[in-house]
Amino acid sequence: MNSEQNNGPSQGQGFEDQEQLYSPIQSGQPAAAPKKRLGWKIFWGIIFVLSVLGNIALFLILIGVIAFFAAGKEGILAEDIIQKGPRTSKIAMITVQGIIDDQQSRDFYEQLKAAREDKHVKGVIVRVNSPGGAVSSSDQIHNEISRYREKTGEPVVAFMQGLAASGGYYISVPCDRIVAEPTTITGSVGVLMGHFVLQGLLEEKLGIQPEVVKSGLKKDWPSPFKPMTEEQRKYIEDKLITPAYERFVQLVADGRSELTLEDVKRLADGSIYGAQEALDEKMIDKIGYMAEAIEEVKSLAGLEEAQVVEYGKPFNWSSILGAGAWGITKIDKSTLYELSAPEVLYLWDAYR
């Protein structure tokens, strides 16, 4: 009897009770395994996330270190050596590339300031490859070159590389000499202004009728909502085009002593000129390449040898971490106004 009681279920004990008696849950050991496996998964998941974040942080630090050593201190212009020579006799080369706008003007100012403050700089080359641009920006660069020559007494040579039309020519004429590559296009002395007329699109296509409330008859001239009348066109010419044109012509005559005011007016009909024709018309001084431009500066500065340097853009953390570095463009009312507003330009129109 005792043997039966010890070896088998007691009387009245069912199969369900037997299953519970011998169930693995009662032993406790296998049930802990899934919990342990889940804990390890969470642990390694946290380690993986921390590892990814750490690698990203190290990558950003590496970029910062490279940028720091490549560009130097924040706000300081880097120098690239274009031609080797004694560091105590330097020629600074400043490039104006593409459309001349406010940013070009600011960059040019910073670079010319660096040249002025460097006691080893003995002359400047203004390398121009531009169809021109905004009237005010072109005029600011012209003014900076004139002031530099007046304050330092050091020579400035313009080197036209490919294209130096309209505003590109405007910023070349205050220099002591102008050297142009054989394939250069220059000239286009003149002014233009254009704007969009949206009347047909708004009224005929979209059914939108603009309404403008203004304090005077001429307050909205020219308007994007209707074509200009002859009276409006004459008004714009008198107020904007003619003054800008006359200033352009006068500054060319002032900068090019070989040309009289009448000579400039004859040339200033918006025409473009190749290098040889520009040389024949005394709009430039020499046809050549960078080597000839360097020799011109050395000759004017009385130098036998010189180191030629080119400035890079100043290092700025905001340029790396800011919205602009990631291609984020902010569209607001100011941007829309700039896109739609008419602008007076020293620009060769064929470039657009």
Residue with the bigger pLDDT between 41 and 174: it is 174
What is the distance between the alpha carbons of residues 267 and 279, in angstroms, rounded to a whole number? 13
pTM over cut 0.85:
no
- Cβ within 8 Å of residue 15, ≥6 positions away: none
From 166, 172, 188, 223, active-site residue: 166
- The dihedrals phi and psi of 10, each to the nearest 5 degrees, come to -75, 160
Give residue-wise pLDDT tens across range 210-236: 777 888 888 878 877 788 899 989 999
Answer yes or no: are the C-beta atoms of 155 and 301 closer than 8 Å: yes
Mean pLDDT (the chain) is: 82
Q: Assess whether pLDDT exceeds 80 at residue 129.
A: yes
Answer yes or no: are the C-beta atoms of 156 and 145 closer than 8 Å: yes
**pLDDT at 6 (0 to 100):** 46
103, 158, 286, 298 from 292: Cα distances, Å: 29, 11, 9, 10
The pair of three-digit structure tokens given for residue 266, joined into one six-digit string? 């004859």
Give yes or no for a cis peptide into 131 (omega within 30° of 0).
no
Q: How far is CA 320 from the centre of its chain?
A: 14
Q: Which CATH superfamily is domain 77-191+268-317+332-351 in?
A: 2-enoyl-CoA Hydratase; Chain A, domain 1 (3.90.226.10)
Give residue-wise pLDDT tens across range 159-213: 999 999 999 999 999 999 999 999 999 999 999 987 667 667 766 777 777 777 8
What is the distance between the alpha carbons of residues 126 and 133, in angstroms, rounded to a whole number? 17
175 C-beta neighbours (distance < 10 Å), count? 25
Domain boundaries, the chain: 77-191+268-317+332-351
What is the distance between the alpha carbons of residues 126 and 112, in angstroms, rounded to a whole number? 10
Q: Assess whether pLDDT exceeds 50 at residue 16.
A: no
- Strand partners of residue 157: 125, 177
The reply to whether 166 belongs to the active site is yes
Answer yes or no: are the C-beta atoms of 123 and 94 closer than 8 Å: no
The pair of three-digit structure tokens given for residue 77, joined into one six-digit string? 């212009």
236 C-beta neighbours (distance < 10 Å), count? 19
From 219, 234, 239, 282, active-site residue: 219
Residue positions counted in the chain: 352
What is the distance between the alpha carbons of residues 78 and 71, in angstroms, rounded to a whole number? 6
**pLDDT at 81 (0 to 100):** 93
